[in-house]
Amino acid sequence: MMGKVTLRNLAAHKIRLVLTAVAVILGVAFVAGTLIFTDSMNKQFDDLFSRVGKNVAVDVRAKQVVDGDDDGTAAQPVPASVLTTLRGIDGVKNPQGNVTGYAAVVGKDGKVVGTPQNGPPQIGANWTNGGSYDLSAGHAPQGPSEIVLDEKTAEKGKLGVGDTARVLTSGAPRQMRIVGLIDAGNLMGATFTGFDTATAQKLLLKPGYFTDIEMGSTGPSQTELRDRVAKALPGDLEAVTGEKLREESKSDIATMMNFFRTFLLAFALISIFVGAFIIFNTFSMLVAQRTRELALLRAVGAARAQVTRAVIGEAVAVGVVGSTLGLLAGAGLASLLQSQVGDAGDGGLTFTATPVIWSYVVGIVVTVVSAYFPARRAAKIPPVAAMRDDVALPQRSMRIRIALGSLLTLVGAALIAVGLGGGGGNPVVPVGAGAFAVFIGVAMLAPVISVPVLRLLGAAPARLMGSPGRLAQQNALRNPRRTAATAAALMIGLALITTVNVLGATMRASIDSQVDAQFGADYLVLPKGAGGVAADVEQKVKAVPGVQSASSTYEGDAKIAGKKVSYMSGDPAVIGKAARLKMVSGGTDLGAAGIMVDEDTADDNHWKVGSAVPVTFPDGKTERLTVAGVFTKSDLIGPRLMSTQMYLRHTVKPSVDGVVVDTAATNTATKTALESALKDHPDLTVFDQSALKDEARKQVDGFVTFLTILLVMSVIIAAVGVINTLALSVIERTREIGLLRAIGISRRQLRRMIRLESIMIAVFGAVLGMAIGVAFGAALQNALADEGLGVLAVPYGTLVVYLVVAAVIGVLAALWPAWRAGRMDVLKAIATE
């Protein structure tokens, strides 16, 4: 019997439940889309790595000395003489040396092919017959002026066999002829430029050396052959199996994709969390409106458990429908995500059981859990209530709610403080748990907060718009719990969006402050991608009229006291002036074996001028450096500065990170002259102080926009919640609306009343959310003040825009409920019980 009751109720309230299902659909779509997208990308990477090194049994490479020096590429390369040794080992088949590095090609439009800025790499390598790829046109490169390109790179640059193209490496640009194209399949957006081995060694590494040497096997297993090869190698080299080599490559990608999946799922969970408020609110209102019906069921013999199961059954149905539609929408979202990652998304979607399982688990569980407490309240309705004219569900005392809400808010704030305090461990867990507790706590306190806030928000409409304004205010205040639950959904979304915007404004203000305080150079030459600055750029810059000084800067890794550390190197006098360095003690004369450190590093290690510091470099060599000077903290230099000679002595293929430039005058003519001198380097940009700020702001703005877009889903779900609440509220007040119409209120006034009520609820949620967001943003800034966020900035203009957007959401959410209320038949509405 109760099953039939459940089905009947679903049919009777289908519009309301469809609106509720929208919250489930949107949340599940985010989860399903994320899982489908990452599964698809993982499949494409697996296909890519299955082709790379497929015939490799053993690989010989340099041992990793400094953690993070992946596969030893920064260490000493492998001498070509090792090939002779390997050929003499029983079981080794066709050993070949590989050379890899940075190489980019300039297309016919004068632009570098590919988008290396935080994107796929631009790979240069030696071409070997029988390698991972096959030629699809032309022939292999022969000699110092020939290259081969992958087909997609050639297509993007509008280049073909026989064309001459400018090739960029860490040396001077070179004009080289394209003699062949290779079928590399889907390189996930990366570009490939192949040279003959001698040219690759000269341009990408070092003559007579390889990055690594790979070989096949004539019979022994990979493990057995690895052991044989390892015995014949010098101590600074190691042998690994081909299987391990491929697993390491896959592991790096898997780590990146797992982070991306976790990142997106965090926003999906936010949307689901917001949706839970909507579902809870909807079922609470449905139960309240069906009090007499549920009491009659109890009167005719239905047990409490049966009533509970009937309401839960409705929730399960909503969850199943919402999960199914959400899964379909998720596939569309995954396709949209793939379209935004360029060539990396060309492989199509991959469907596994994981998104399906999690879509239904998340959709059904969240719906059922959200509907559980309203179902419990429905079961507690006494049978005698069926005989009363005025039936209402009993409300619990606000004292317990206030006490619990206050406790959760305080505990959440404490957890956030612990997480941001840097006490060790992973801060994400306490910060996330703290934010969750704060949201729940504030949502519980919202009914109490809503009364004074809504009185304030409704004061102007009540005075300026007469009866509709007063009635709207009274309706919003009539059920503070319901109003608070509706506003809480919008509160969460806008709280997080506000936090992101406060953090973005803080980052922009802090960067401006840092550049003003620490950037003393007139110009800075930086690469657009990961290839670095060519070695000849410094001399070209120095030759520009008006340039007084210029110095290349380098960044390297080393090991001090057993820990990986980073350092900058370059001309200390020029860099010190460019960074407006303030010395605490000592000076900038590093000599042959000196190091400068900031005062925090000196204090942490108990160093002073003259202290000896053993430093191990990626090539495995250790030098005993002397502290020549201690300087105040500099975000532009970092904690350590070494001489250019020290960096070059321990680096196989130096990579210039930038060039700092001082000129006699900073004007348009000087900047134009610098850009003209570097016209052969389209991968470089000349920045003055203003342009450097603008570039940093662009990156921050991109970051803020990306996060805001991800959070907009939760705001959309919240808007659906406002629609749902108002629609149910109109149905609940059918008789009241009929009476208002009977005593003379017009349809226009009625619609205005509902719109004003919606706006008040939406603006209340926005005000509450923005207040929490500003508090979260200030807490983050305070915790990260020593990490470069020294200036707190609140984007008041943006917050005003969000307040207006919240009011617009209120207007849009009220359109359908207001239209429905205005169409009611007066007599039928008055006759409604």
Taken in order 37, 42, 47, 51, is the CA torsion positive or negative? positive
Taken in order 9, 15, 19, 24, is the CA torsion positive or negative? positive
Q: For residue 51, which phi and psi values (nearest 5 degrees)?
A: -85, -30
pLDDT at 395: 56
Could you give the number of structural domains in the chain?
4
Q: Is residue 422 part of a domain?
A: no
Model confidence at 70, pLDDT cuts 50, 70, 90, reads very low
Q: Domain check: are 505 and 631 in the same one?
A: no
- CA distances, 628 to each of 585, 593, 608 (Å): 9, 9, 9
- DSSP-based three-state secondary structure for 419: helix
Instruction: Among 362, 394, 426, identify where a domain stops.
Output: 394
Q: Domain check: are 24 and 99 in the same one?
A: no
Q: Domain check: are 382 and 315 in the same one?
A: yes
Query: Torsion over CA of 370, 374, 380 and 382, rounded to 10 degrees?
Result: -160
- Mark out the alpha helices in 611-746 (DSSP H runs): 644-649, 668-677, 689-732, 734-742
Q: Domain check: are 292 and 375 in the same one?
A: yes
Higher pLDDT, 85 or 729: 85
Q: Domain check: are 68 and 206 in the same one?
A: yes
Q: Is residue 357 part of a domain?
A: yes
Q: Domain check: are 542 and 512 in the same one?
A: no
Report, in this order, helix, strand and coil percent for the chain, each rounded to 5: 60, 15, 25
Token pair 């004003």 is at which residue? 756
Q: For residue 593, which phi and psi values (nearest 5 degrees)?
A: -145, 50
Model confidence at 609, pLDDT cuts 50, 70, 90, reads very high
Q: Domain check: are 44 and 108 in the same one?
A: no
Average pLDDT over residues 366-394: 68
Residue of 155, 163, 168, 156 whose CA lies nearest to 122: 168
Environment class of 604 (CB within 10 Å of its CB; exposed 0-12, middle 13-18, buried 19+): exposed
For residue 495, what are its two tokens?
A: 């709280």
Answer yes or no: are the C-beta atoms of 571 and 661 closer than 8 Å.
no
| Beta bridge partners of residue 237, listed in sequence order | 62
Residue 530, pLDDT above cutoff 80 = no
Of 328-337, 399-408, 764-773, 812-821, give the range with the top mean pLDDT: 764-773
Residue 74, pLDDT above cutoff 70 = no
Alpha carbon distance 760, 460 (integer Å): 11
| Beta bridge partners of residue 680, listed in sequence order | none
Average pLDDT over residues 748-761: 88
Q: For residue 804, which phi and psi values (nearest 5 degrees)?
A: -65, -40
For residue 416, what are its two tokens?
A: 């956030």
Q: Is residue 13 part of a domain?
A: yes
The type of residue at 365 is: V
Alpha carbon distance 752, 469 (integer Å): 8
Alpha carbon distance 825, 828 (integer Å): 5
Q: Domain check: are 228 and 291 in the same one?
A: no
Residue 35's H or E segment, with its range, is helix 14-51
For residue 209, what are its two tokens?
A: 């050396």
Window from 50-59, 341-350, 659-668 with minimum mean pLDDT:
341-350
| Beta bridge partners of residue 626, listed in sequence order | 594, 612
Higher pLDDT, 673 or 745: 673
Taken in order 184, 52, 68, 593, is the CA torsion positive or negative? negative
Q: Domain check: are 311 and 201 in the same one?
A: no
Q: Is residue 672 part of a domain?
A: yes
Q: Is residue 560 part of a domain?
A: yes
pLDDT in tens, 244-281: 888 887 777 777 777 778 888 888 888 888 888 888 87
Residue 594, pLDDT above cutoff 70 = yes
Task: Give the angle 801-803-804 at the CA atoms, nearest 5°.
Answer: 65
Q: Which residues of 187-197 are buried (b: 16+ CB within 10 A; e: fewer)?
A: bbbbbbbbbbb
Instruction: Among 241, 267, 299, identify where a domain stops.
Output: 241
Alpha carbon distance 140, 197 (integer Å): 11
Residue of 587, 588, 640 whose CA lies nearest to 615: 640
Average pLDDT, the chain: 84
Q: Is residue 419 part of a domain?
A: no
Percent of the chain exceeding pLDDT 90 equals: 32
- DSSP-based three-state secondary structure for 493: helix
DSSP string, 514-536: HHHHH---SEEEEESSSS-B-TT
Q: Domain check: are 126 and 222 in the same one?
A: yes
pLDDT at 167: 94
Residue of 768, 738, 694, 646 whose CA lies nearest to 277: 768
For residue 483, what are its two tokens?
A: 């109003």
Alpha carbon distance 107, 163 (integer Å): 10
Model confidence at 5, pLDDT cuts 50, 70, 90, reads low
Q: Is residue 551 part of a domain?
A: yes
For 642, the domain range is 523-686
Model confidence at 341, pLDDT cuts 50, 70, 90, reads low
Q: Distance of alpha carbon 588 from its chain centroid, rounded?
A: 40
Model confidence at 116, pLDDT cuts 50, 70, 90, reads low
Please list, in sequence order, all residues whose beta carbon lies within 8 angstroms of the beta carbon of residue 507, skipping any fewer than 6 positions away: 700, 789
Q: Domain check: are 85 and 16 in the same one?
A: no
Alpha carbon distance 223, 241 (integer Å): 6
pLDDT in tens, 163-214: 999 999 888 899 999 999 998 776 667 889 999 999 999 999 989 999 999 9
Alpha carbon distance 192, 132 (integer Å): 12
Residue 700: CB atoms within 10 Å: 18
Average pLDDT over residues 443-458: 88
Residue 631, pLDDT above cutoff 90 = yes
Instruction: Among 241, 264, 286, identify where a domain stops.
Output: 241
Q: Is residue 531 part of a domain?
A: yes
pLDDT at 68: 54
Token pair 């399982």 is at which residue? 357
| Beta bridge partners of residue 195, listed in sequence order | 126
For residue 432, what are its two tokens?
A: 């996330």
Q: Domain check: are 546 and 495 in the same one?
A: no
